[in-house]
Chain A
Amino acid sequence: MATFRVNGFEQNLDIEPEMPLLWALRDELGMTGTKFGCGIASCGACTVHVNGRAVRSCTTPVSAVEGQDITTIEGLASMAAGANASAPSLTAVQQAWIDHQVPQCGYCQSGMIMAASALLASNPNPSDAEIDSSITNVCRCGSYPRVRKAIRSLATA
């Protein structure tokens, strides 16, 4: 039995301990916001937060997140809002993604937003070099210039 919390809700799944978290989320829990891109932690489409840290779920077995707190794109805003019922339905990062019209096909953007959110939480004013080294996600549509603009717009100088 694998036990962990996803977006604040405890999940008990009768699955193999080596099943990657990505497939537990997608196929077992039906949460499809987290995407499959490469399966080898290269592209970042599957990025989720484990205890607030950006993690590539396609190579993270559920046994490695036993008892831990997982946040996915679907729960990003509600987890940030916590008990604050009047909090906006999107986080500042998600709103910046709309304001800067970042996504194109959008497939990589769940992972991109999760990576950017984790970066800004730990480093509110990242340099370009820090953005480059933290956001290593692949976007085939080439949204990179807009990702950079959106992150910069959120930086607290």
Chain B
Amino acid sequence: MKKISRRRFILTTALVGGGVLIGYSATRPSRHRLANTELAQSGEHYVTSFLKIEADNTVTIYVPHSEMGQGVHTSLSMMAADELDADWELVKIEQAPAIDLFANGDVIKGFASEFGVPSFLEGLVSVSAIKVAELMNMQITGGSSSVRFTGEFGMRTAGAAARQMLIECAATRWGVAADECTTQLSHVHHNASGRSLAYGELAADAALLEPPKDPVLKDPSQFTIMGKAISRVDIPAKVDGSAIYGLDAKPDGLLYAAIRFAPVFGTKLVSVDAGVVLNRRGIKRIVELEDSVAVVADSYWRAKEALKLVTTVFEASDNDSTSSADIYAGFERSLADENGSKVMEQGDTEAAMESAADVIEANYRVPYLAHAAMEPMNCTVHIHDDKVDVWTSTQDALGIKARVAKIAGIAEDDATFHHSYLGGGFGRRLPFNWNVIDHATLIAKEFDVPVKTVLSREDDMQQDYYRPAVASNFKAAFDAEGNVLAWHNRFTGPVQTPGASHIPYAIANQSIRVVDGDTHVPIAAWRSVDHSQQTFFTESFVDEIAHRAGKNPYQFRMELLQQHPRHRKVLEVAAEAAGYGQNLPEGRALGIAVQESFGSIVAEIAEVSIGDDNQAVVHKVTCAIDCGWAVNPDTVEAQVESGIIFGLTAAMYGEITIENGRVAQNNFPDYEMVRMATSPEIEVHIVESGEALGGLGEPATPPIAAAVTNAIYILTGQRVRELPIKNHDFSRVNPLAQV
């Protein structure tokens, strides 16, 4: 990752007028002044646009990211509060309103420095051709970006800038030099004279200053809040039922919509027979849309029950008989016929294959996956008096506000977004996955009262934007001594995450190319995006190479990772903690996998056995993560546990299949989840390398599938090359003699 110059960042942000923190330009007032003009109440002062200090010395920190359980409200506030030297007991944390004053250009800048504009934003650029300046106006929560970009480049700088301004005000008031002053627990002290002032007493003065352009951040040794396992602020409301999610919105006069979408993606509604439905209790109206029909009632249950009685005809399409088998056959044709486009080429793989003593080849495949967030997709819209109000759980509040306003035909300035907690996101609630938002707005246009459109679990599962099904063809070439000479990978696209198919291993000749994988099934980012399938592929095939070379999979990786000390370190820590190479209980084996994603490097070791039903049982997962350093170690552990279980669910059970052009699965029984009984023990080791902060929401998900299937290979001699694992029969056990 290219290093971001903080100073340059601030200036650049100021130039485009999208500054998160201290940005100002010749034509605009500085942002904190804008905040003071437009938002501050009497006695309140915004010192930067993320921080408000009140006369009673309370500090309010505005967090511009969505809280979906990753603890971002707490972590980002810890970063600002620590740099500010605030008293944590006096810190209040609030969700930043969905207005561009609080947008986080840091996310865009962070991604741009990593690998260009992220895929989930590309459409915005190409579709609407909006300027980069407008692209900055976002509050997107995705790409494991909040802490490492907004936190590191926004929150910390905001806190440090505010602290510097408060010192300057105190020094002026006392007539002393600023460098004679210190700060602690929300006070500025002048130790020589024994004087001190609370931040609240200085805030009014500070609000008149232009913020410093390049505030000095703390050295980690000076941290007082960061690095501690501080309790998350969102948790108390989540144990007594008071936490409000999008589905819990209840504005006055609320009506509810149940909707039936065209079951085959991309087809249109032809006709509706609503029959006697309108006579049923509570039914208000049938709304016909281009590709769907909705029943609107005074209760969701009444709407949903009535919808069952509505008969619909949708247009026929070329995809009406398409099945998963057809889709996979198409993938095979693409892989056979196309050379694809270059992802990564190094050396001369073709020549190495021709001159090799031995070549192995393997085909891998993964199915579509649904997000299946616990809170089914929903959106409440109220269009009234040339204004629009919207309530929904989203990873993109500003984007949703703009989208709803546009469809409602109302100026964006007259749109109000009402924040809530998210009952899971995992990528489903990112931009472009807008079907629920669009339909809810179109339905609400028919009313002057608020209407809440709710997808049933079945709708949610069948009208998702899926983790793509992907097929991959691998070859590896060896010399006569068993050294690996070349790596060949052809996989079906698209590429959503550049770099996910790359390998860290020192193999001289590599050819990685992507072929066409487009189908009629809508796809999107799914927790860890391309890493979710690519890591299963690459870490499995590396394991195949190791076994073929007659080497221990751990040693083999370590040998080929000489240039990657951080990878080696997490492997080493995980292997030692898992007891790798030591005696295991009878019938168990350890599988290993490592992957770098979103700036963090994660090694996972799965302890697996084959149960009486010939299915794999995962007993324990030992994980080592190098995320640079840990802002909140308990949140790091929680995110790693979460990522592993999310990935394990996909590896063991996850499979969305297409039959007759539509999704065959309905609900949890046929899209099964890891539950208490199947959840392994998880041990997390945080490796603090002191490198740049890495992401946490996603990086623990990629390695788990290969870790489990690599163990299964040792136990059974069977190489799992297609997920999910549940589809395989391990009754013909032929364990490896030694590993």
Contact = CB atoms under 8 A, between A and B. Distances in A.
Q: Enumerate the 5 nearest inter-chain pairs by beta-carbon distance, A residue then B residue, closest first.
A: A33-B241, A142-B645, A104-B69, A107-B423, A106-B238
Given A28-B299, A142-B642, A145-B682, A103 B239 contact: yes
A110 B421 CA distance: 14
Interface stretch (B37-45, B143-151, B195-203, B370-378): B370-378
Contact of A138 (B300, B638, B675): B675
A90 B422 CA distance: 23
A146 B642 CA distance: 10
A42 interface: yes
A35 B374 contact: yes
B235 A103 contact: yes
Interface in A119-151: 131-133, 135-148
Interface stretch (B100-108, B243-251, B404-412, B478-486): B243-251
Measured as residues with beta carbon below 8 angstroms from the partner, the interface class of chain B is 35 or more
A36 B673 contact: no
Contacts of B454: 36
A137 B374 CA distance: 11
Given A23-B299, A32-B244, A145-B682, A104 B70 contact: yes
Given A19-B299, A36-B376, A42-B669, 5 more contacts: A27-B301, A77-B240, A103-B235, A138-B668, A144-B676
Given A39-B456, A145-B682, A105 B374 contact: yes
Contacts of A90: 239-240
A32 B423 CA distance: 13
B93 to A, nearest CB: 16
Contacts of B231: 98, 101
A105 B374 CA distance: 9
Interface string B641-658: 111111000000000000
Contacts of B669: 40, 42
B641 A145 contact: yes
A37 B675 contact: no
A146 to B, nearest CB: 7
B422 to A, nearest CB: 6
Contacts of A74: 240-242
A103 B421 CA distance: 12
Contact of A136 (B240, B301, B425, B676): B676
A16 B281 contact: yes
A54 interface: no
B516 interface: no
Nearest to A22: B301
Contacts of A70: none
B505 to A, nearest CB: 29
Interface in A68-122: 72-74, 76-77, 90, 94, 97-98, 101-110, 113
A144 B374 contact: no
B457 interface: yes
Contacts of B421: 105-107
Contacts of B71: 104
Contacts of A106: 69, 234-235, 237-238, 243, 421, 423
B239 A109 contact: yes
A132 B676 contact: yes
Contacts of A141: 69, 374, 424, 642, 645-646
Interface string A16-38: 10011001001110111111111
Contacts of B645: 141-142, 144
B235 A38 contact: no
B95 interface: no
A64 B59 CA distance: 51
Interface in B331-384: 372-376
A123 B247 CA distance: 34
Contacts of A50: none
B50 interface: no
A104 B457 contact: no
Contacts of A144: 645, 674-676, 679
A145 B679 contact: yes
B634 interface: yes
B424 A32 contact: no
A27 B457 contact: no
A145 B668 contact: no
Contacts of B677: 132-133, 136
